[in-house]
Homo-oligomer: A and B are copies of this chain.
Amino acid sequence: MKRTAFFVSDGTGITAETLGHSMLSQFRGVEFAQVTLPYVQSRETTENAVARINETAVRDGQRPVVFSTLVDEEHRAMLGQCQGLVLDMFAAFVGPLESELGVRSSHTVGETHAIRDHEAYRIRIDAVHYALDNDDGARTRHYDKADVILVGVSRSGKTPTCLYLALQFGLYAANYPLTEDDFDDLRLPQSLMPHKDKIFGLTIDPDRLAAIRSERKAGSKYASPRQCDMEVRALEALFNKFNIPSLNATELSIEEISTRILAKTGIQRRLQ
């Protein structure tokens, strides 16, 4: 029998989901249907949320689990009356913070993901466009502006990582695919040499690489275990030769790759 988890928020719901996913990941044995209720900012939307939770409690025959980041006191009290287990982030943490800081919290609704700082927003959008313009070695003349240049073989996760670094941290991340030509004489491409200190390498297990490539071009030389094995060996030899910091991305999510790059290199994020 499935449980239902609700993520209730007066904003996007992203904080409630992040908190909730983190908690639910500690209970893998229990299966949860997940429902996000964002923009709960009025008595009416709060009443609707409570009604939805109560109907689910009846349908499931079990209390839903409710992760709430609601800020408004009246709405939190209303939600507290629902037929679910309410885990109230505001109640848990704002009290101790108010005491510590000696100030009342603003109780402002929908704050977490609002644009507060147009300059920070501009950096973020600019970083996304930088990642797009400098994807896959398409251009190399803007590497002066790069915070990091990811190198690796085709389909090792460079592009999604660059986009995540841009969106999450406002970093200017370029990427450059290394190919057989580069491996032949074990050298770095000319365009990368002046920026050697910004290079970070992604490597991947040859088996996994072959599986990923096969989804795109089954039966091709490009996807063959032999080719993948050769490319990865040569890549790692290159990283060794030029002392390039690197990471095996095989079992890592985009978030893990991105945050490990920051931890390993000490690159400072441009957005908090």
Contact = CB atoms under 8 A, between A and B. Distances in A.
Given A159-B128, A263-B38, A15 B19 contact: yes
Contacts of A122: 215
A253 B115 contact: yes
Contact of A255 (B3, B14, B34): B14
Interface in A45-67: 63, 65
Nearest to A11: B256
A12 B25 CA distance: 14
A97 B160 contact: no
A253 B100 contact: no
A113 B106 CA distance: 31
A160 B163 CA distance: 9
Nearest to A125: B160
Contacts of A38: 259, 263
A85 interface: yes
A151 interface: no
A96 B263 CA distance: 33
Contacts of A100: 63, 65, 85
Interface residues of A, number: 71
A97 B65 contact: yes
Interface string A249-272: 001111110111001000000001
Contacts of A121: 253
Contacts of A18: 14-15, 18-19, 112
A113 B253 contact: yes
A248 to B, nearest CB: 13
A107 B34 CA distance: 22
A271 to B, nearest CB: 11
Contacts of A34: 272
Nearest to A257: B12
Nearest to A208: B118
A172 interface: no
Given A27-B103, A113-B255, 5 more contacts: A12-B255, A29-B106, A39-B259, A92-B92, A160-B167
